[in-house]
Structure 1
Amino acid sequence: MIQPDPLHLEKVLHTPVRRIRPYRNNWCIETDFMWWIAKPVPGSKAKWWHQVDSELRNRGFHSMLPMITDGYQWILTPFIQGQSCKYNKMSEVKRMVKTLAHFHRVGRNLRTPPPEAAFLLSHRLVNRLQKFHRLLLSADQVKSPLRELLLKTGKDFYLDGIEAWKRLEKLPFQDWIERERSHHVLAHRDLASHNWMTDQTGALWLIDFETADYDAQVGDVWQMSTRILAANQYPERGIETILRAYEMVRPLAGIEKKILAALFLYPNEFFREMIGLVERKRGYEIKVSYPYLKQIACNRKKWKKQIAEFMYW
């Protein structure tokens, strides 16, 4: 991990830097007046996000931390005293969903030109499905207890993924994604619960925009919904509760609902967690992810029943 140069940061922040220390895979920058979090970001993406950030604020979205960038390597945001949100707290969920909808509503038809070629929603789905298929073919080589779970349930989840993709192919899915990108429609694309924070005053913040790009916003709705539902073990009428909260702020188009119905069948959480554990990716721990995988597997039939109900909602 490359450490920022203190002299360089002093020029960016216009104040002396007293200390630089690692903090959650980034850097905490201490000055006389406040602390900052410094994140390495490619220059083109840093400039792009700085312009998008300004547009969103001018349009009335302020649930993002103020940012400073040197324009080619670092993005700095204030360090806030607070805590990450939890998707298993339904009292917090509606507030987060409404904030996402506000982010989406103002993040349409932006003036800022797109950054470099993006890894769009359709590409991400195919890539993860292919990765999981390769994992399934080599399941005998996976260490226990993941091997047993993969051999027992992996094929069913893979077939769910194939069926979801077939349904998407029958829709103008790729056309919709390309339309969203061409109209400069903004998506966050990394809506893990730890990318939501509340500070000591109770203010809610959406953070970590390094993966943001012009892409289909329905992908954000799907990604966040599936994480919320899995964290709460697929509560009855859970899909309806989430989408009604979202549509109070930003109504979904008819084609987006059809795409969602197909996307919900795609077992993204199971794929992501299993791949993350087997490939030993940073942030995936067996003691946390394995029970989560077992829970998803146990609730598969319950989830598929809810998907069928959503198709008629």
Structure 2
Amino acid sequence: MDAPDVASVAKNAYGICAECIVRKRTVYGIVAADGRRYIWKQAAFGDTDERLQALARALEAYDRADVRAAAPLPKRDGRMLAECKDGNRGYLQPWLPGRHVQTASRDERLRAIAAVAKVQRAVQAAGYPEHRTLRRGSLYGKLRVKANAIAKLWPQAARELSQFAPFAVEAQARAERTIALYRANLEQTRSQWRQRATLCHRDLAPHNVLIDGDGNIALIDFDHAGYDDMYADPVQFISHTLFLNELRVPEYQEMWEVYAEHAALRRNELAILLGLAQWPDIWVRALAEWGKAEAEERHHAVAKVQYAVACERRRSELNKAVLAKLRLEA
């Protein structure tokens, strides 16, 4: 697929005359003759007209929170997916203004985590739109699959990564403990599940969060979005923030408190959320990357594992400190 193909699809399927097309990693940016801007995305696995239409309708709830979303746009015939000459399918979405959030900035990371809470509650206030169509697994299932995968991978990695063996045992125990506590909570709160279910992004890394010159937040790339436990998104975003920055206790605590405030969480709910925050996600991701690395890339992968261990030890210390300061027990 190339720029002329994108221009042809934009014209024929959407009635958009492309003035300029820019290749941006895995997507194409389109500047139309009237000055409007769009992104062409290749369809992900599982994308259908039904799913994309449902996603576009559900993301309308974001307007209630004054947060923009890069929602799929319909073609002239009302459907979503368009096909290129080479057979690849994709769709248009708005090219939103702004740049990626810089998590080193206190203001930006707090604006981002507050926006996450606001859109989650906005979707609930809108009546859980399209919840039947937008179901894509669960946080519990995702954690269980990752824990099983790492348990199988570590024996293969143990010889080359023997210096990390003590931490590997600790991390696996922490993962299993987090899952067990979370499962127990799910069983206890089954009747109130609707209070925590919402449309989650489920891939909430900082590169999927934009901020414009006025400090307005926007979310992009909803390939993995679906209804899930609302705690999935803040846990993921704050874990990425921890990976990218050496947060101190007050900074780490502030992120959880800002989310809790805008999500209207009670103290016991914040305790559950902080329990999930102990999930060793950075270690899991680093070990998985090591497993996929080619032989000549292994030394880089080992360095990432070493950094992940340092991050996870810092996470453990931060969590303990925050729980103590807030007088909570996860």
Return the TM-score normalized by structure 1: 0.82
Query: Are 1:51 and 2:57 matched, yes or no?
Result: yes
Matches within 5 A, 1:130-141: 130-140=148-158
Q: Give the partner amino acid of 1:35.
A: R
Secondary structure class of the residue paired with 2:249: coil
Number of positions where the alignment pairs a residue of Structure 1 with one of Structure 2? 305
Q: Give the partner amino acid of 1:278.
A: G
Deviation at 1:271, TM superposition (A): 0.8
Query: Are 1:243 and 2:252 matched, yes or no?
Result: no
From 39, 42, 52, give the equivalent of 1:40. 42
Show the counterpart of 1:268. 281
Deviation at 1:257, TM superposition (A): 2.5
Deviation at 1:276, TM superposition (A): 2.8
Query: Are 1:199 and 2:212 matched, yes or no?
Result: yes
Alpha-carbon distance between aligned partners in 2 of 1:20 and 1:209, rounded to the nearest angstrom: 22
Q: Give the partner amino acid of 2:37.
A: W
Report the CA distance shift for 1:201/1:291 in structure 2 as closer, same or farther (over 3 A): farther
Query: Are 1:64 and 2:69 matched, yes or no?
Result: yes
Show the counterpart of 1:24. 25
Deviation at 1:187, TM superposition (A): 1.4
Show the counterpart of 1:79. 95
Alpha-carbon distance between aligned partners in 2 of 1:304 and 1:250, rounded to the nearest angstrom: 20
- Verify the 8 A CA contact 1:218 1:260 in the aligned structure 2: yes
Deviation at 1:90, TM superposition (A): 1.9
Secondary structure class of the residue paired with 1:68: coil
Identity in percent: 17
Q: Give the partner amino acid of 2:263.
A: R
Q: Give the partner amino acid of 1:207.
A: I
Report the CA distance shift for 1:300/1:212 in structure 2 as closer, same or farther (over 3 A): closer
Q: Give the partner amino acid of 1:138.
A: Q
Query: Are 1:299 and 2:314 matched, yes or no?
Result: yes
Show the counterpart of 1:94. 110
- Verify the 8 A CA contact 2:21 2:31 in the aligned structure 1: yes
Deviation at 1:222, TM superposition (A): 1.8
Report the CA distance shift for 1:273/1:141 in structure 2 as closer, same or farther (over 3 A): same
Report the CA distance shift for 1:288/1:21 in structure 2 as closer, same or farther (over 3 A): farther
Alpha-carbon distance between aligned partners in 1 of 2:309 and 2:267, rounded to the nearest angstrom: 34
Report the CA distance shift for 1:35/1:311 in structure 2 as closer, same or farther (over 3 A): same
- Superposition RMSD on alpha carbons, in Å? 3.4
Q: Give the partner amino acid of 2:320.
A: K
Alpha-carbon distance between aligned partners in 2 of 1:164 and 1:310, rounded to the nearest angstrom: 21
Deviation at 1:88, TM superposition (A): 2.5
Report the CA distance shift for 1:311/1:118 in structure 2 as closer, same or farther (over 3 A): farther
Alpha-carbon distance between aligned partners in 2 of 1:93 and 1:178, rounded to the nearest angstrom: 30
- Verify the 8 A CA contact 1:85 1:92 in the aligned structure 2: yes
Structure 2: segments with no counterpart, 5+ residues: 82-88, 295-299
Alpha-carbon distance between aligned partners in 1 of 2:173 and 2:14, rounded to the nearest angstrom: 52
Report the CA distance shift for 1:66/1:211 in structure 2 as closer, same or farther (over 3 A): closer
Show the counterpart of 2:199. 186
From 180, 202, 205, give the equivalent of 1:166. 180
Alpha-carbon distance between aligned partners in 1 of 2:261 and 2:104, rounded to the nearest angstrom: 21
- Verify the 8 A CA contact 2:243 2:311 in the aligned structure 1: yes
From 140, 152, 155, give the equivalent of 1:122. 140
Matches within 5 A, 1:2-13: 6-13=7-14
Deviation at 1:9, TM superposition (A): 2.2
Report the CA distance shift for 1:242/1:60 in structure 2 as closer, same or farther (over 3 A): closer
Secondary structure class of the residue paired with 2:142: helix
Secondary structure class of the residue paired with 1:93: helix
Deviation at 1:36, TM superposition (A): 1.8
- Verify the 8 A CA contact 1:39 1:76 in the aligned structure 2: yes
Deviation at 1:215, TM superposition (A): 0.7
Task: Tell me the alpha carbon deviations over residues 168-192 of structure 1, each in whole angstroms, 9 at most, x when there is no partner.
Answer: 23323585599349x9621111110
Return the TM-score normalized by structure 2: 0.78
Secondary structure class of the residue paired with 1:36: strand
Q: Give the partner amino acid of 2:32.
A: T
Q: Give the partner amino acid of 2:155.
A: L
Alpha-carbon distance between aligned partners in 2 of 1:6 and 1:288, rounded to the nearest angstrom: 43
